[in-house]
Amino acid sequence: MGKEAEPINWAKLQDDFDPSAPPPFRIADIRASIPKHCWLKNPWRSLSYVIRDVFVVFALVAAAIYFNSLLFWPLYWAAQGTMFWALFVLGHDCGHGSFSDNPKLNSLVGHVLHSSILVPYHGWRISHRTHHQNHGHVENDESWVPLTEKTYKNLDDSTRKLRFTVPFPIFAYPFYLWYRSPGKQGSHFNPYSNLFSPHERKDVITSTVCWSVMVALLVYLSILLGPIQILKLYGVPYWIFIMWLDIVTYLHHHGYEQKLPWYRGKEWSYLRGGLTTVDRDYGWINNIHHDIGTHVIHHLFPQIPHYHLVEATRSAKSVLGKYYREPTKSGPIPFHLVKNLVRSIKQDHYVSDTGEVVYYQTDPQLYRYSQTKSE
């Protein structure tokens, strides 16, 4: 890859504020700033969002069948894919226990919602818990983990190009469920994967069975109604949902205007890792996908219901100070985030193999090499 440049000290380039410095407050200080009612979970309110979203999903299906026109289908795909993403977020709340205080209700609703969009609920829930417990840690984090330089250089050329060329990364989630990320092994469907402990295997089997039932239902409907009809009603919206999931989850931890740190060793802590999370504004879509862009407080306190996140964040800002990065306000559609996504994928390639506070580095040869190969 040619001669390597000295890593840039990004912390010194950020208006004399070092985002990697240990904060002058404790997580207990943030907790104390949040109103007590923000911690309360109302299962009836949570279920009302489920009823709302499921109603919209079936209303959209009915409208697509009724109109069945070339003009309407693209509108349907965009709207339904977004609603699938909304269903995922509600299932996500079930996984965190922020949906209700009743584990059985959380598991039931989580399985129904996630299985309907081909997500293995418990398999995902457990790996997502690992993500929250280790957010911002180079080796131990689970979601969009940065590649170390050694892992990056050991990737074959096609994998490297796919991972760091838009739009391929925004279709990654189904492959992640089966194979995880480069440098990690295991499957969200395999109860014996190293993702899970022995006592979690029954839960994983349950979720894999539910996922399989949904696949079987889709096959049956394809035979009954025709594969093209199911592709239009379900297949295309599914991939729109995958795009939403990958874009939103990526931008929660990448693509901020200034470089943010990743940690390992003694420098990592739950608080410091959580403070590298980024809030995003999605305009009127905030309400549709249940304010999941309000993500900093969610990462620090995942037990707070989604309908209290905005208020909790507003209250915690006085404690967080510069460690909270105000999101850029969105227009009706969050086109402004496309720039953040593309820039990050093109620039944030790997982190150093050593060091306890590291920042993303760029491989200047990546696209040059790709262009040379194509000429």
- Bridge partner list, 350: 361
How far apart are the C-alpha atoms of 178 and 125, rounded to whole Å? 15
Q: Model confidence over 358-370: pLDDT tens digits?
A: 999 999 988 875 4
- pLDDT class of 2 with cuts at 50, 70, 90: very low
pLDDT at 118: 98
- pLDDT class of 15 with cuts at 50, 70, 90: low
Least confident of 111-120, 152-161, 207-216, 236-245: 152-161
Q: Model confidence over 37-90: pLDDT tens digits?
A: 999 999 999 999 999 999 999 999 999 999 999 999 999 999 999 999 999 999
Q: Model confidence over 316-347: pLDDT tens digits?
A: 999 999 999 999 999 988 999 999 999 999 99
pLDDT at 372: 47
Domain ranges of the chain: 10-374
Alpha-carbon distances, residue 111 vs 115, 218, 262, 374 (angstroms): 6, 17, 33, 45
How far apart are the C-alpha atoms of 339 and 255, rounded to whole Å? 9
> Average pLDDT for residues 211-227, to the nearest whole number?
98
Say whether the peptide bond before residue 305 is cis (omega within 30 degrees of 0). Answer: no
pLDDT at 159: 86
Q: Which of 141, 129, 57 is nearest to 98 (CA)?
A: 129
> Average pLDDT for residues 159-169, to the nearest whole number?
89
How much is the pTM? Answer: 0.93
> Average pLDDT for residues 148-175, to the nearest whole number?
91
Average predicted confidence (pLDDT) for the chain: 93
* % the chain with pLDDT above 90: 86
Given a contact cutoff of 8 angstroms between Cβ atoms, the answer to whether 204 and 136 are in contact is no
> Average pLDDT for residues 370-375, to the nearest whole number?
48
Q: Model confidence over 247-302: pLDDT tens digits?
A: 999 999 999 998 999 999 999 999 999 999 999 999 999 999 999 999 999 999 99
